[in-house]
Structure 1
Amino acid sequence: MTGHDSGGSLHRGLKRRHMTMIGLGGVISAGLFVSSGKVIADTGPAALVAYALGGLIVVLVMRMLGEMAAARPSAGSFADYAHTALGPRAGFLVGWCYWLFAIVAVAFEGVAGAKLLHSLSGGVPVLPTAVVLLAALTAANLVSVRLFGETEFWLASAKIVVIVAFLGAGTLYVLGLWPSDGAGAGLALLTDHGGFAPKGWGAVLAALVTVLFSYFGAEIVTIAAAESAEPAKEVARATLRVVWRVLIFYVGSVLVILAVVPWDRVPANGTDSPFATAIAELGVPGAATLMTWVILVAVVSVMNAALYAASRVLCAMAARGDAPPAAARVRASGVPAPALLGGAALALVLMVAAFAVGDDAFDLLMNTAGLLVLVLYVFVALSQLRLRRRMEAESPELLRLRMWGFPWLSRVVVVLLVLAFAAVASSPGALPVVGAVAAAVGGTLLAYEIRSRRRGAAPDAVAREGV
């Protein structure tokens, strides 16, 4: 991908240790540290099932995405794969929807980080602080991909250390080996307060929106692979690690919280962390302050990764003609500056709008982004089904990493995603979110048709191959 302003192109400046930490830390978002409280409040101990089901979906989709990325590393990731497999209309839709999803994550995490700094400092204004966070990370991303990799390496390292320590302490507590005044060993709290699923199983399916938004970041390693020294090897390693990351980091952490704190006492206000409550229950001094700093690290990490992903996807779309040509320009340092600045500008607009309208606007944005993930994942699965058959026939040597149980498991994933979407869409209060997703998809398709007519482009001529 060549730029127009300086003859630059994306650099392969990410080392193995960068890719390792992007892969390991990418899935640990602020959603785990904070939004898990809302999921627990909405579902009870059955939150374990919600995170396991969401994790299963992410694991299978990542395996399919990993197969394509190992064969054809691309900064455009699944937008490029959808374009190649399903045609330009699909590539246009997937690219812009993912870009919007990533920018919503930047804005949401920026405001969350500003609120955390407000509580830590005792009064710094939230909106200006959010803007400063956004400006600082944008500036860091403008320098080079190497600086992005270094920043994410250390932020991810800090998150992993805390999660591992939390899981270790929680395990000792459950086994009755933790030095605590409370009896609280075992897993009795999973059923003692109204049963395992006190809100019903429908609530578990409805919670998938929040769960999938929390898993943001797992796919970024497939985008970053295009700028690594060994793209195929690195993406294969990273996708193989997704399974145990999801099981240990998410399901394990939620299990510890539910084993230590009664589910109806877990904070769900979006500010206080369930992790802090659990650590306080273990008798660790300064738990609230400690977790506030950890969550701030997670927030900055997610913002950093989302800015990176959005800029690379937009740059790839521009190179393909699906975005303004200026977004394809790459500096000599290998940074697509116009694409990065464009994403940061929209994130700033969303931040200001959220403050003008109120927190309900951000809740709608977050839930819309979560439901939009299901749509994007369906396109990933359909792209993999078609590209796999094409590669088997034309270039089987590219299949360095293979989807399990192809083609049946890939088809099962499509069915699971459609059922999950239907379940979430039919849950109480889902109408505004479904309407927002429909508006996003419909508006994107309308933009594609307008662009195509202006260019005099013929309708998609995608070969009708069975999947």
Structure 2
Amino acid sequence: MTTRPPDAPAADTAPPADGHSPEQAGLKAGLKNRHLSMIAIGGVIGAGLFVGSASGIAAAGPGILLSYALVAALVVFVMRMLGEMAAAYPTSGSFSAYADRALGRWAGFSIGWLYWFFWVVVLAVEATAGAVILEGWVPAVPQWAWALIVMVVLTATNLISVGSFGEFEFWFAGIKVVAIGGFIILGGLAIFGVLPGSDHPATGFGNLTEHGGFLPNGGGAILTGILLVVFSFMGSEIVTLAAAESPDARRAVAKATRSVIWRVGVFYIGSILVVVSLLPWNDPAVEKKGSYVAALDTIGIPHAGEIMNFIVLTAVLSCLNSGLYTASRMAFSLGQRGDAPRSFVRTNARGVPQVAILASVAFGFVAVAFNYLWPDTVFQFLLNSSGAVALFVWLVICFSQLRMRGIILRENPEKLVVRMWLFPYLTWVTIAMISFVLLYMLTDDKEGGGRSQVLLSLLVAALVIAISLVRERRRRPESANDAVAPR
């Protein structure tokens, strides 16, 4: 087993005590503590929470709360494992670098490129979603033009400096946090009939059981609900990548990891509890208008639809901003390890890896074009082939942590400031839970459903792994020649 630190060239030494790896020299510590705090709090809140929750409620009824709780537990466990490794070795490559160290070069290469692929496809999805909302407000500008404008503006934001990315994300995440916090407070008051100016009756928590019971569609609907809500949690790992560009990375990672429980508890489970308590789960308005809009309407909030469109647009822009940042930093890390073009490592005077950013956004632009030209063929293939990648990432984090715990204890035990609970038993339980979700997705055989996502994602993963193994085989003779060459 090599003893080099994660995400660093072989000649480098272990990361210094301040938490920064030598390979971060080209990047700038431009993210402030308030940036990281808000990224940690709001980063887990995606547009999927606002848009996708209605289908989950329709499938599982009030039992969707259990679906959210189970997925939230997965996220908490995975983030705890990732936090353990990231607090010891903060790096822009995060889990890809740890997989490289713990499982082998093939693992770091494969999961790094798969994650990059996942996020550049997300760029196209979010740009299109934002364009749809903006076109509704300003129909004189065509949808494709709005998608272009959104992509160009956020690309410029990322190119200026990491601080400008952090500032944009601070305000985007802040709007999401304030919106959900306000929704929970107003909804909670309306549930008990004490919201001033609202004529909503004091239903309490009666709607959880009065319309066919807590599980009106049976216990199996909880599993269906998991498939519908799991992807709204993606992105919680971004803070561990961003922490590498902060003045005190180790402290930032530890703080974000320890706060993940209340974050998912309040923003996800808390807000969904308010929704299913305010109105019956089978109210037609839930699916017709969207769960949050229907809830705001039922308590008498005027212009609920437009308010929610603004919040969803903010979530979309936040996801696009973070996605471009994440894809570029993963490309930067891959370049550092020799798994991507060396030009990806090049940074400008402001510490921005501009080639990595431009390469990532270029693929995003191509994907946007596919979405307009061939939405049901090429773009649908891209969506499905990246659909299960996030679950693959979670699995790799689990397996990496099983090995990295021993490496940290052997080399730098003082850096084990965050520990996974009940190690290794809870790690194996998490692996089993993620594997079960992937297997259950195979039973979802509708068009564009879980089965096609898993199978196509596995196909792409197999292709990337094959490329990595071929590259490793070609490297070995070169390494052997270097070893026997005369000095």
Name the residue aligned to 2:318: 301
Residue 223 of structure 2: aligned partner: 205
Deviation at residue 366 of structure 1 after TM alignment = 5.0
Please give the per-residue CA displacement for 1:169-219, whole angstroms capped at 9, x wherever unaligned: 111112221243232521222233333333443343234344232112211
1:193 and 2:211 equivalent? yes
Partner of 2:422: 405
| Displacement after TM superposition at 1:456 (Å) | 4.5
Q: Which residue of structure 2 aligns with residue 394 of structure 1?
A: 411
Bigger mean CA offset, 249-258 vs 345-354: 345-354
- Distance across 2 between alignment mates of 1:276 and 1:289: 9
Deviation at 1:71, TM superposition (A): 0.3
Q: Is the 8 A contact 1:212 1:370 kept in 2?
A: no
Q: 1:244 to 1:397 in 2, by over 3 A?
A: same
Aligned residues: 453
CA contact 2:27–2:352 (8 Å) conserved in 1: yes
| Structure 1 residue aligned with 2:78 | 61
Equivalence for 1:463:
none
Alignment of 1:310-459 (within 5 A): 310-358=327-375, 365-366=382-383, 369-429=386-446, 430-456=450-476
- Tell me, in whole angstroms, the C-alpha distance in 1 between the residues paired with 2:422 and 2:49: 30
> Quick check: 358-367 or 155-164, which moved more?
358-367
Change (3 A) 1:210 1:171: same
C-alpha contact 1:209 1:371 (8 A) present in aligned 2: no
Q: Does the CA-based 8 Å contact 1:202-1:427 persist in structure 2?
A: no
Q: How far apart, CA to CA, are the structure 1 residues paired with 2:230 and 2:129?
A: 18
How far residue 104 of structure 1 moved from its aligned partner, in angstroms, is 2.1
Q: Normalised by the size of structure 1, how large is the TM-score?
A: 0.91
Residue 277 (structure 1) aligned with residue 284 (structure 2): no
Higher mean C-alpha deviation, range 32-41 or range 222-231:
32-41
Contact 2:42 2:174 in 1 (8 A): yes
2:166 corresponds to 1:146: no
Counterpart for residue 122 of structure 2: 105
> What's the CA shift for 1:35?
1.3
Cα RMSD, aligned residues only: 2.2
TM-score (norm. length: structure 2): 0.88
How far residue 369 of structure 1 moved from its aligned partner, in angstroms, is 3.9
- Which residue does the alignment assign to 1:245? 263
Asked whether the equivalents of residues 445 and 452 of structure 2 are also in contact (C-alpha less than 8 Å), the reply is no
CA, structure 1 residues 144+309, in 2 after alignment: closer, same or farther (shift >3 Å)? same
User: In the aligned structure 1, how far is the partner of 2:308 from the partner of 2:48?
Assistant: 13
Which has more radius of gyration?
2
Matches of 1:457 and 1:416, distance apart in 2: 41
The letter for the 1-side match of 2:394 is Y
Q: Deviations over 1:297-340 (max 9, x none)?
A: 11111110111011001110111011122212111211111111
CA contact (8 A) 2:60 2:224 kept: no
SS in 1 for 2:348: coil
Give the 3-state SS of the residue equivalent to 1:14 in structure 2: coil
Greater displacement, 338-347 / 229-238: 338-347
> 1:416 is paired with a residue of what secondary structure?
helix
Cα distance in 1 for residues equivalent to 2:242 and 2:144: 30
Are residues 1:83 and 2:100 paired? yes
Q: Flag structure 1 segments of 5+ consecutive residues without an equivalent.
A: 460-467
Q: Quick one: percent identity of the two aligned structures?
A: 41
Match of 1:225 among 227, 243, 259: 243
Q: Which has the higher contact order (CA 8 A, sep 6+)?
A: 1
Q: Does the aligned pair in 2 maintain the 1:83–1:89 contact within 8 Å?
A: yes
2:458 alignment partner AA: A
What secondary structure does 2:388 align onto? helix
Amino acid at match of 2:255: R
Distance 1:327 1:246, change over 3 A: same
What is the rounded CA distance, in whole Å, between the counterparts of 1:457 and 1:200 in structure 2? 59
List runs of 5+ in structure 2 lacking aligned partners: 1-6, 9-23, 480-487
Q: How far 1:8 sits from its partner (Å)? A: 7.3
